[in-house]
Structure 1
Amino acid sequence: MRINICLLLLLLTAWSCAEKGASNDKKSTNLDGFKTFKIDTEAKPVSIFELIEEVEIMRLEETEESLLSSVFKVSSTEDRIVFPSGNDGSIYSYSKEGEFISKFSHVGNGPGEYEFIWSFWVDGDHIFVSDINRRSLISYDLEGNHLRSWKLPFYAKSFFTYDKGFVADLDYTAYQDSLQFNVLFLDENMEVKQMANPYSSPLILYVGSSVNSFQPYGKDLIYHGFKSDSVFLIKNNQTRPLLKFDFGEEWLWTEETIKNNPRTTGLIRETDLVWWVDSYINEKWIYLSYKTSFKDVFRVLIDRNSGIQRAFKVNKNAATKYAMTPIKWEEDRFMVSVQSPDVRAYINDLGEAKVKFREGTTLEEIESSENPVLMWVKFK
């Protein structure tokens, strides 16, 4: 009898664990199931300070070798952050406390050199730089020593490492002159393994976004081209729709528009419709930016679970805005860069109780430097 009771308890425990596991799997599946978010372009924006729970601020040490102009492409390793800054093609390494470590630049015309940094990311101890103009991809170690170069037989806006090879965004440029696929899966030698995301009409636009179309998402990748209202999950060398931002009649790039209007740059000026979309996505939030002209940027914070949207503004006052540059999610914190002269006013607007400084950072040091700061924002 005792054995039967123990057996029953064991079965109930196993069933309970299985149910719990199934519940967690269901939650994960539901989160990454396809969703459409209808964007209200007429929503009245609130101040970003109404949405923030707290921030952590870190200065970036200024030395004679590390005078930074902007910071917007940041990759992280276990012990450092790496990013390009300025027009001289330099790539900087800093510690996680904001101490300058080193920099290098390989601008030039020789082997292992680039003209301009377009896509940039770090994978392990390798730094990758793609140069659109030269159709090349180059890798370096963390100290800037050249490791390998690839000459590309196609134009690609963005690259990222994936499945021991690469994934590329052709951004509506035909592969081998006639194959119309936006996403190419490539092996380590740049040989095409698979193509995805076909399109029917080329979209030629002489305006680009230097934001990488690919971003890490757990063990997988997210793909979102700036001329698309849809986001795709890349998993097992395939793409599938993850999110759609529905702008209704305010969206410019319909199939009919693309097919009948080859002069797209003029169309942006004439219509004032949404033509540029950028998204940063983690398990809970979507930080969405979009444009209806060449100057105005609109921002929306979306809760993926509830679908609640909050349009927001980053105004310093009625006439000016904070130069707050979105970078990426790090777990539940969103990394942005802010210009150092704005930091004190930013703190005053947010409230000192919501501000933390990373070890080694003080407000006095920030204000004595011209370098931008990094800020990790936790939303409510």
Structure 2
Amino acid sequence: MKQIRWSGILTATLILFAAASCGSESGEAAKGVIDVESAVGKGSVVSLSEVASDIRYIPLETNVESVLGNIEGIKFSKGKIYISDSKYSISIFTEEGKFIKKFSRVGRGPEEYVDISTFQVNDTDGGIVILERSGRIIRYDADGNFVELYDKLNPKANNLSFVTISDFFVTSWFQTSRQEGQMEFKYGVTAYVDSLNILSEKKIRSFSSMKVQQVDGRMMGFMKIDPPYLIKHKDEVKFIMSECDTIFGIDSKGKISNKYILIYGKYQAPKHMDFDTYNNDESDFATLSTQFFETDRFLLLNFNLRALAPELIERTSRGFDGKETFVQNTNVYAIYDKKRGSLNFLNQPEKGTMGFKEDIKGGFPFWPSYTGTSG
């Protein structure tokens, strides 16, 4: 399984997960149940060599054409690295870091895109599919030629991410509205054949995600938005909804099913949390971030353990009023072994830094920002 992580202006990182995590092994023990309660308080430092066979730091070629803006997204497909930046272009490099070309069709013409919210690469033909912030999806072939346009699939929603599987799209989205003096949030994941034909859909409502308070004489709204994050692993899409203790899957026919159930036990979060309860770092309940990664052998997860976190990361943060405040990060990474059915929280390999201990090449602690789809 190959994995890319952006680690600097001119360096990319390639991970090869251990051969033990690949193959046709079946009969994964305890698959479907993630016992969070039993794992709390039993974390350990996990070395990268325990889950990966190699790591490569790839210097990217620098020339006038390959100059990058702020990095927005990274994909890896068929030996090529694709990097989108704040200029809404996509730079393509070889696996060795040699610059190939830059793709950009920015504009307001009928075959152009206005911006890039996120993008996908077709692993079969190298085509690029772009999701605009407006919700439009535009397909191009490997040479950058326009193929087709899907207008906004859900005109009433804000589309956040998408993946392609088989011959349909899967998108994650959210909507906001006011209901009885409260802000109502609707989150969802929808599988579309096209804008008129929905294969399946999963959605949930939340009323407790906003706090309004006065800052320097102005009323400011603070929102807790944790919409579903889509990952594609082989021929299946998976996602988490923050209000559900479940990791869902969508197969190649568009069917949604429960894949993993999280058991929190005495660390279960209260139902219908308000903003302050969710952000209270002194509470003794755990919640799971909707952003996660999957390999053939592992799920890489990110929990907010609050008062249960064994090690805090302390930072100063500048608020809306411009004042610096002291904040504590109580998030803890975890790795779930699908074969053994075990969950292990990762202790910090270096104080103030989360991730795996990079013991293969002696680099900085590592945690992925992207994983490939091939397994």
Kindly tell me: are residues 323 and 225 of structure 1, through their superposed partners in 2, closer, same or farther at Cα, counting changes over 3 Å? Answer: farther
**What does 1:1-380 align with in structure 2 at a 5 Å threshold?**
28=26, 34-38=32-36, 40-49=39-48, 51-52=50-51, 54-64=53-63, 65-68=65-68, 73-85=73-85, 87-111=86-110, 112-115=112-115, 117-123=116-122, 124=124, 125-132=126-133, 134-152=134-152, 153=155, 154-171=157-174, 182-188=188-194, 190-201=195-206, 204=209, 206=223, 213-225=229-241, 228-235=244-251, 236-248=253-265, 250=267, 252=269, 254-257=270-273, 261=274, 264=275, 266-271=276-281, 274-277=286-289, 278-291=291-304, 292=306, 295-313=329-347, 315=349, 317-318=350-351, 322=364, 324-326=366-368, 327-329=370-372
Structure-2 separation of matches of 1:122 and 1:32: 33
SS at 1:45's partner residue? coil
CA distance in structure 2 between the aligned counterparts of 1:173 and 1:243, rounded to whole angstroms: 28
SS at structure 2 position matched to 1:157: strand
Any idea what the Cα deviations from partners look like across 1:310-360, whole Å, max 9, x if unmatched?
322454x4355647451115666xxxxxxxxxxxxxxxxxxxxxxxxxxxx
Residues 38-67 of structure 1, C-alpha deviation per residue, up to 9 Å, x if partnerless? 253433331535735532304142312334
Q: Which moved more, 1:195-204 or 1:158-167?
A: 195-204
- Whether contact under 8 Å (1:84, 1:90) holds in the other structure is yes
- Of Structure 1 and Structure 2, the greater helix share is in 1
Unmatched segments (≥5 aa) in structure 2: 1-22, 178-183, 211-222, 307-326, 355-363
| Off by >6 Å, runs of 4+ in structure 1 | 69-72, 178-181
Q: For 2:272 and 2:278, locate their aligned partners in 1 and report how far apart those are by CA, in whole Å.
A: 15
- The alpha-carbon deviation at position 239 of structure 1 amounts to 0.7
Which residue of the partner structure matches residue 353 of structure 1?
none
SS of 1:328's equivalent in the other structure is coil
Q: Which residue of 2 aligns with 1:362?
A: none
Aligned to 2:17: none
Letter in 2 for 1:197: K
Tell me the TM-score normalised to structure 1 length.
0.63
Q: Deviations over 1:168-201 (max 9, x none)?
A: 2224669xxx99672222114x223233324354
The 2-side partners of 1:172 and 1:50 are apart by: 42
Give distance in 2, aligned partners of 1:226 and 1:71: 27
Q: Which has the higher strand share?
A: 2
| Residues 172, 242 of structure 1: alpha-carbon distance in 2 compared, 3 angstrom cutoff | farther
CA contact (8 A) 1:170 1:183 kept: yes
Contact 1:233-1:242 at 8 Å conserved across structures: yes
User: Is the Cα–Cα contact under 8 Å of residues 48 and 314 in structure 1 kept in the other structure?
Assistant: no
CA contact (8 A) 1:181 1:196 kept: no
Distance in 2 (alpha carbons) for counterparts of 1:35 and 1:99: 43
SS of structure 1 residue aligned to 2:279: helix
Asked if structure 1 preserves the Cα contact closer than 8 Å seen for 2:207 and 2:272, the reply is: no
Q: What are the Cα deviations for residues 253-298 of structure 1, in whole angstroms up to 9, with x where unaligned?
A: x5432xxx3xx3x444335654552322233211112335884541
Check 1:102–1:201 CA distance in 2 against 1; reply closer, same or farther (3 A cut): same
Q: Residue type of the partner of 2:99?
A: F
Tell me if structure 2 keeps the 8 A contact 1:181–1:195. Answer: no
Rounded to whole Å, the distance in 1 between the matches of 2:351 and 2:281 is: 26
TM superposition shift of 1:101: 0.8
CA contact (8 A) 1:38 1:246 kept: yes
CA distance in 1, matches of 2:87, 2:365: 21
Point out the more displaced range, 195-204 or 92-101.
195-204
Number of residues of Structure 1 aligned to a counterpart in Structure 2: 292
* Contact 2:165 2:235 (8 Å CA) reproduced: no
Is contact 1:280–1:329 with CA below 8 Å preserved after alignment?
no
Contact 2:34/2:336 (8 A) holds in 1: no
Instruction: Answer yes or no: is the 8 Å Cα contact 1:213–1:226 preserved in 2.
Output: no
Q: Deviations over 1:227-262 (max 9, x none)?
A: 65421121222111101233445454x5432xxx3x
- CA RMSD in angstroms comes to 3.8
Deviation at 1:157, TM superposition (A): 2.0
Structure 1: gaps of 5 or more residues: 1-23, 333-380
> Which amino acid in structure 1 is aligned with residue 34 of structure 2?
T
- Percent of pairs with identical residues: 16
Task: Tell me, yes or no, if the aligned pair for 1:159 and 1:168 is still in contact at 8 Å.
Answer: yes
Distance 1:71 1:243, change over 3 A: farther
